[in-house]
Chain A
């Protein structure tokens, strides 16, 4: 039982405003943590801290046994983030964007082609991202997130902008690794979760194995 994520009293403040306060949790390797909560509850902040993009202002955070961000350089290559921003240059094509990220992560070019096929963008791969529909952008961003086969995937509403068929087709790409997923869908979210975290005003209002969490409890978060 390896621990993938360990947070102890993690907080992140912006000046006087605290986006996260005292969040403590443990996620084992291979588990899926689903994070619920209203907008502004701190879900995206939590993901960014886990992605080593944000330094916690209080508490300690460990990913794969390394303290972040102090030792972040050791684990960065093992983490993939799909956030609100697709992190793609709009004037370049999907292929050019993915090739750029592939080179940064030392991933062979063949993997780029493989993913372009897998997400269904092979045909439009050479058009600038600015010409893509929102669903296509999401798919390209997803490809970027899993390009380097990360052991930990951080997904901020991964199915946004995707129709159910597309979302289902992409499931295999997201499976078989430790995942932290934010979700606004209580039923769907609980179904795929091993552990559920409910954030409210930056604090953990709910943290339990998914099997013990009821839909009503999730609903409470949004009240």
Chain B
């Protein structure tokens, strides 16, 4: 745990100092909403269209985060510095996943209000905020796990900015499906029965399976 806290502090401190990821992701997401408005010629969206736009934008902003996640370590010898320490290497994966999760949450604090303001037709009631946060949290966990795993693969590969998203996007399709379908009733006009449990279950299962899998296969990625 001490190791995790040391790693996480370093991550967050670096991000605060360089501001390389989060502001870019936030700006990107707002710009993307504008692009969607013009691309789809819609002043207001609701229901499945709204859910889709929100999820897709989150996904692509997440890809930006994936690309930046390991760059400082790769370029400034951070991998070596960590590998020399007598600690379990899996902590690096957990720290990176937690860091990206944090960035996504901060991103959503900007992104969701922007979305509501710019594109969302129906008003979002306070009661719906809870389930919304819940689904997004599970989705963020899924993004973070995949990004922390694939980012480590991509960063030491040529054309790393391309290969990362190329591998991660298909892997994240189940997350997109479950998040979009889950958000749909929340973003629709009028009363609804709440989020169908099956989407939460799929997200939770996905997070669990890939979380465990990533922890199991992460080690070999760090050797040289």
Contacts and interface: CB of A to CB of B under 8 A. Distances in A.
B85 A104 contact: yes
A106 B83 CA distance: 15
Given A87-B81, A103-B3, A92 B17 contact: yes
B156 interface: no
Given A55-B223, A89-B14, A106-B2, A76 B80 contact: no
Interface stretch (B5-13, B59-67, B208-216): B5-13
Interface in A81-113: 81, 83, 85-92, 96, 100-101, 103-106
A105 B78 contact: no
Contact of A87 (B9, B13, B72, B80): B80
A54 B224 contact: yes
B86 interface: yes
A103 B17 CA distance: 20
A104 B87 contact: yes
Interface in A68-82: 69, 73, 76-77, 79-81
A53 interface: yes
B28 to A, nearest CB: 22
Contact of B80 (A53, A79, A80): A53
A88 B76 contact: yes
Report whether over half of chain B's contact residues are helix, strand or loop; otherwise say mixed: helix
Contact of B76 (A48, A52, A55, A89): A89
Contacts, number: 72
B127 interface: no
Contacts of A91: 14, 17-18, 72
Contacts of B10: 89, 92, 96, 100
B84 interface: yes
B158 to A, nearest CB: 15
B49 to A, nearest CB: 41
A86 B75 CA distance: 11
Contacts of B83: 52-53
B18 A88 contact: no
Given A53-B224, A69-B223, A92 B82 contact: no
Contact of A51 (B9, B72, B84): B84
Given A53-B224, A69-B223, A79 B77 contact: no
Contacts of A73: 86
Given A101-B85, A104-B85, A83 B17 contact: no
B85 A105 contact: yes
Given A53-B84, A85-B77, A89-B76, 8 more contacts: A51-B84, A53-B83, A83-B80, A87-B78, A88-B81, A89-B14, A91-B17, A91-B72
Across the A-B interface, give the 3 residue pairs with the lowest CB-CB distance, nearest first. Answer: A103-B6, A77-B86, A104-B85
23 contacts: A53-B80, A53-B83, A55-B224, A76-B86, A81-B84, A83-B80, A88-B81, A89-B10, A89-B76, A91-B17, A91-B18, A92-B13, A92-B17, A96-B10, A100-B9, A100-B10, A101-B81, A103-B3, A103-B6, A104-B3, A104-B6, A104-B7, A104-B87
Interface of B: 2-3, 5-7, 9-10, 13-14, 17-18, 72, 76-78, 80-87, 223-224
